[in-house]
Structure 1
């Protein structure tokens, strides 16, 4: 890791308590530009609490988050998005009946003035954004105007990633992005993540699939009961060591 570059994201001594339950306890991590950091751990380890605290769903009980060296605090996920932190959840939150372009702009539709005064959807801008964004991800579908319900799981994942890229996300949090996919589709998502990496974005990659973690990540952080159980460079660890960290052996 190049210590000369400023981290994209710093999480310092972050804690989140729900009453007496310490879902996350004094957790710290750093993500550099172009780095993929995997989060692993059993259900209840604190992964979801961590990403929801970084992305504005929860307010931390203590600790701080810095984005490019600046302390940030988000009241809503929209505030986090506006600052460049985008979370892609397993359910993707796509509108099945709409095209790629319409999904990229969902809730932020561009308007143009027709006849000088009637606002109408700027369909050209939406179509251009879809084409340019998908090209940036080296992703090609034959029918850009088709509703996304026609697409495969890997293609839908690409649309969700494309939306984050279009709005210039610097940190992408990906929650189980390969979970419901077949092997060829998983490979497609892995190659999409490599594209994002080349663009200098930071990725937090949450997965139960160690195969995928080892295929795409630079480092792995293992959480257990809300605390960091260990951190390893992927090049210097094994599946067995990671499993031991997860179960506490």
Structure 2
């Protein structure tokens, strides 16, 4: 199966610091791929390279097997890759429809379009359609975003990504600041996006959430992928061991004690 989004040998250095050290990445069609790793592991830098926010020094990125060169996030968007960052990039004072079409506003046709008149009715109708399709409950499409709960704001940001993403949606810690009930709603939203056939990259430190929603788990350590495992055959403790370096994956794909751990216990 050709990955929807993939990378080989990505490298990014900042002086003497290597943030990405020959990293590989593979996102398959229709899956939720969780990316996990300790702070400073380089996973954020790799995701920034895949979303166009960072230009790697070396390596190759492909979309549907075609080599691409992202210089900005706009380049990634042109290929159908949308990213939901932790800060959500929403304008609190504007309404939901305006936020969903932020930077991609629909203009009226004819003379009014020439004077840059916005087609507010069309944007609101389209925004409502996407929210309904994803079963995101909002009282009114005309509500300012600042009146929404944290989970609802996350839903608006995700709906925007799902509305314009055709290849992949990347989500950076989408449940980090949410309570139990709102986190559950966000995970259900991710599942609905997967059901639409749009693959999702989920960056998360929350292991129960990862094991609840992910089809595969990409473990990142020291700037590169050290394991790609299934939550069906790998335990939560084993994934934590892979993150810390206490465990590793051998040539047969089995999770075993790492060489470093064996040396310390010898």
Give 1:31 deviation, angstroms.
1.1
Q: What is residue 20 of structure 2 aligned with on the other side?
A: 24
1:48 correspondence with 2:49: no
Give 1:228 deviation, angstroms.
1.9
Q: What is residue 149 of structure 1 aligned with on the other side?
A: 146
Residues 118 and 87 of structure 1: CA distance in aligned 2, closer, same or farther (over 3 Å): closer
Question: Which of these residues, 55, 58, 81, is aligned with residue 54 of structure 2?
Answer: 58
Q: What is residue 235 of structure 1 aligned with on the other side?
A: 232
Give 1:127 deviation, angstroms.
0.7
User: Comparing 216-225 with 15-24, which one deviates more in the overlay?
Assistant: 15-24
Give 1:119 deviation, angstroms.
3.5
Normalised by the length of structure 1, the TM-score is 0.94
Q: Residues 198-219 of structure 1: CA distance to partner in whole angstroms, max 9, x if unpaired?
A: 1111111111100110111011
**Which is higher, the Rg of structure 1 or of structure 2?**
2
Question: Which of these residues, 82, 97, 100, is aligned with residue 78 of structure 2?
Answer: 82
Residues 34 and 115 of structure 1: CA distance in aligned 2, closer, same or farther (over 3 Å): closer
Q: Tell me, yes or no, if the aligned pair for 1:8 and 1:31 is still in contact at 8 Å.
A: yes
Aligned length: 245
Q: Residues 81-122 of structure 1: CA distance to partner in whole angstroms, max 9, x if unpaired?
A: 121111111110001111111001112221215875644211
Q: Tell me, yes or no, if the aligned pair for 2:24 and 2:224 is still in contact at 8 Å.
A: no
Q: Residues 133-162 of structure 1: CA distance to partner in whole angstroms, max 9, x if unpaired?
A: 101212121211111111111111111111
Q: Tell me, yes or no, if the aligned pair for 1:113 and 1:119 is still in contact at 8 Å.
A: no
Residues 27 and 125 of structure 1: CA distance in aligned 2, closer, same or farther (over 3 Å): same
Q: What is residue 103 of structure 2 aligned with on the other side?
A: 107
Q: Tell me, yes or no, if the aligned pair for 2:52 and 2:72 is still in contact at 8 Å.
A: yes
- Secondary structure of 2:91's aligned partner: coil
- Secondary structure of 2:82's aligned partner: strand
In structure 2, how many angstroms separate the alpha carbons of the residues matched to 1:200 and 1:208?
A: 25
- Which runs of 5 or more structure 1 residues have no equivalent in the other structure? none
User: Comparing 6-15 with 83-92, which one deviates more in the overlay?
Assistant: 6-15
- Which runs of 5 or more structure 2 residues have no equivalent in the other structure? 247-266
Give 1:229 deviation, angstroms.
2.5
Task: Please provide the CA RMSD for this pair.
Answer: 1.5
Runs of 4+ with deviation above 3 angstroms: 113-119
User: Comparing 200-209 with 175-184, which one deviates more in the overlay?
Assistant: 200-209
Q: Tell me, yes or no, if the aligned pair for 1:45 and 1:223 is still in contact at 8 Å.
A: yes
